[in-house]
Amino acid sequence: MTEMSGSEYTALVPIHYANYDFAMKMVDPEISSPNHGGDISVAEVHFGSPVGGWLDLSTGINPTPYPDLVLSPAALSDLPTASCLAASLNAARASYGVADEASLCAAPGTQALLQVLPRIVDPKGPVAVLSPTYSEHAHLWRVNGYPVMEIDDLDAVGDAAVVVIVNPNNPDGRLYDVTQLEALRAKLAAAGGLLVVDEAFADVTPEISMASSAGREGLLVLRSFGKFFGLAGLRLGFAIGDQTLIDMLAARLGPWAVSGPALEIGERALRDTVWIDQTRDALASARARLDKILMSSGLEIIGGTDLFRLTQARDANTCYEQLGRAGILVRRFEEQPGWLRFGLPGDDAGFDRLSEALAG
């Protein structure tokens, strides 16, 4: 695409897509990176290495991953080709129900897209993040120098130029209706703003996806591959939106941003509708089984999705420590000391182990 200057974009819309050399805002060294689940090495510093190994329930990743991981020899030996990338994007378009007028780009995980977005979008107003949610959203806008409002209701959006919503939300599973989001998108677009909808967990509730509306002005949809397909280490995600913004994201990511194995396996998995349907049913059953264990242990379930459950307890820290000493890692939240989030055990042994540890 022809490169345009920041001033040219400003003339088009109040919120403009800056040129490729847009300077990163000054980073405040006092703003530290958020904590996340899924790092057993950090847990072992605190708990030591359990004799029976770890049962990691600290993430919302499907514990039964997509099974067909056979690779062609070229996937590892050759650079990814344009046709391989196109095949993966077409599979994502079909699987997510992306509108024909929308564009897509692939990334090495949606985290990479979150890192890039504040560097190419220069909002003429505050950034509002529906919170509490995945902490990287507010963090990355802040470290790039933008004012951030963490709000708990859409009515508090105010004069925000960018609104970020995770749908279903992490960690409480809160859902936003498509009609409600479309109205917000239209309002933001009319003022030159942008609605960012992170659908990292939307595979279990496809009916709430905004992918069919992508391509309209003022909307960017993010999809994560690794969580539902249980292949987080593959590092694959997608951005869906209008061509200008998607071209800018792709340019920032650069050539060969996604590995050949990720593109090949991603295409295969996204086209496997039988596995996808069966997995949705299996995750719903596993979530119901987890609910029974948590409730029978006196934990109050206050939210979640079919990939994780959020609980509340007065003795949450004691429970966290007890589970950790039993080699079971769950997610706790410094800002909400009464909360614990549980991912799904992957088999009967895992469910039994969790039940026994909570009973203890």
Q: What's the pLDDT tens digit per position in 212-245?
A: 999 999 999 999 999 999 999 999 999 999 999 9
Residues of the chain with CATH 3.90.1150.10: 40-60+274-359
Extract long-range pairs of 149-154: CB within 8 Å, 24+ residues apart: 154/130, 154/180, 154/184
> Of the given ranges (25-34, 98-107, 158-167, 206-215), which has the lowest mean pLDDT?
25-34
* Per-residue DSSP letter, 232: G
Q: Give the pTM.
A: 0.90
Q: How far apart are CA 360 and CA 350, in angstroms?
A: 15
Task: Read off the pLDDT of residues 115-161 as tens digits, 9 standing for 90 and up.
Answer: 999 999 999 999 999 999 999 999 999 999 999 999 999 999 999 99
- State which CATH number among 3.40.50.620, 3.40.50.150, 3.40.50.300, 3.90.1150.10 fits the domain covering 40-60+274-359: 3.90.1150.10
**Delimiting residues of CATH 3.40.640.10 domain(s) in the chain:** 73-271
Instruction: Count other Cβ atoms within 10 Å, centred on residue 345.
Output: 22
Looking at CATH, the fold of the domain delimited by 73-271 is given as Aspartate Aminotransferase; domain 2 (3.40.640)
61 touches 226 (CB < 8 A): yes
Distances (CA, A) of 111 to 39, 223, 261, 333: 16, 10, 19, 20
